[in-house]
């Protein structure tokens, strides 16, 4: 059983150390990420197993879910159900970065989850947007424009994990070919805002994007839309 194999690699020291990364340990075994990923390679893709692992509620089992679930078998309802269960940033970000952004439902979930009330559920929208941008899965110019619009709309959310997710999404879009200028412009607007959360997001993104060398061909979103 996969859960038994996880327990074989558990240690109290690893469990105790989770608090340093703001990860709750009440439902954790204390297994390192390296061991979780190694077990995932041995198990391979098994969507039924992924669902069973998720339902255990165990932190490491849910992390393992990200690697053994089949993105093509994910339903929109299943993504919603798992998103509702997010109670820490690590599970949220891992599922978005490793699994959800490979689903055909990914973009729709960015739009839907960006309006969720829960802190981790709204973070999921922007973790997923960041993942899609970094992995080149935003296929249409309109998606970049809408992504930046969602970032600007939600940058005022003062909750720690939301605003960090918003900043991650903005910085990730700024790394996409032709989008650095647009991301920098939004970052500057936010950095000059009277709202403290918007200022934080803008300044955080500016610090990072200032280090990025933009692609030689920089095309504004409006021009990209006109050419499509």
pLDDT tens per residue, range 82-127: 999 999 999 999 999 999 999 999 999 999 999 999 999 999 999 9
Tell how far CA 155 is from the center of its chain: 16
Asked if residue 224 has pLDDT above 70, the reply is: no
- Give the percent of the chain with pLDDT over 70: 93
Nearest Cα to 69, choosing from 42, 92, 57, 51?
A: 51
Q: What is the mean pLDDT of residues 45-50?
A: 96
Is the separation of the CB atoms in 214 and 177 below 8 Å?
no
State the angle between helix axes of 89-98 and 59-68 in degrees (0 to 180), rounded to the nearest 10. Answer: 10
Q: According to the model, what pLDDT value does residue 222 have?
A: 44
Looking at residue 216, its pLDDT comes to 52
Angle at 183 between CA 151 and CA 139, to 5 degrees: 80
Report the greatest alpha carbon distance in the chain: 57
Summarize pLDDT for 194-212 with one digit per residue, the tens: 999 999 999 999 999 999 8
Q: What is the mean pLDDT of the chain?
A: 93
Q: What is the pLDDT, as a whole number, of residue 217?
A: 47
**Is it the case that residue 221 has pLDDT exceeding 80?**
no
Instruction: Note the pLDDT of residue 139.
Output: 85
pLDDT of residue 219: 42
What pLDDT was estimated at residue 150? 98
- Model confidence band, residue 215 (pLDDT cutoffs 50, 70, 90): low
């Amino acid at each position: 059983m996969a859960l038994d194999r996880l327990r074989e690699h558990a240690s109290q020291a690893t469990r105790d150390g989770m608090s340093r990364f703001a990860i709750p340990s009440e439902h954790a075994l204390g297994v390192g990420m390296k061991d979780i990923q190694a077990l995932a390679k041995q198990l391979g893709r098994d969507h039924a197993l992924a669902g069973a692992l998720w339902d255990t509620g165990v932190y490491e089992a849910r992390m393992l879910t990200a690697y053994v679930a089949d993105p093509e078998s994910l339903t929109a309802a299943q993504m919603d159900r798992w998103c509702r269960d997010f109670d820490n940033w690590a599970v949220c970000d891992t599922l978005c970065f490793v699994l959800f952004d490979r689903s055909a439902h990914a973009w729709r979930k960015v739009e839907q989850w960006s309006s969720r009330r829960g802190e981790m559920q709204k973070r999921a929208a922007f973790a997923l947007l960041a993942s899609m941008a970094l992995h080149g899965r935003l296929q249409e110019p309109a998606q970049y424009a809408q992504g930046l619009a969602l970032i600007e709309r939600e940058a005022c959310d003062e909750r720690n994990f939301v605003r960090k997710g918003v900043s991650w999404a903005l910085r990730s879009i700024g790394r996409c070919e032709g989008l650095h200028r647009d991301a920098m412009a939004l970052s500057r607007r936010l950095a000059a805002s009277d709202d403290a959360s918007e200022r934080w997001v803008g300044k955080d993104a500016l610090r990072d994007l200032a280090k990025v060398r933009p692609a030689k061909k920089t095309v504004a979103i409006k021009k990209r839309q006109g050419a499509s």
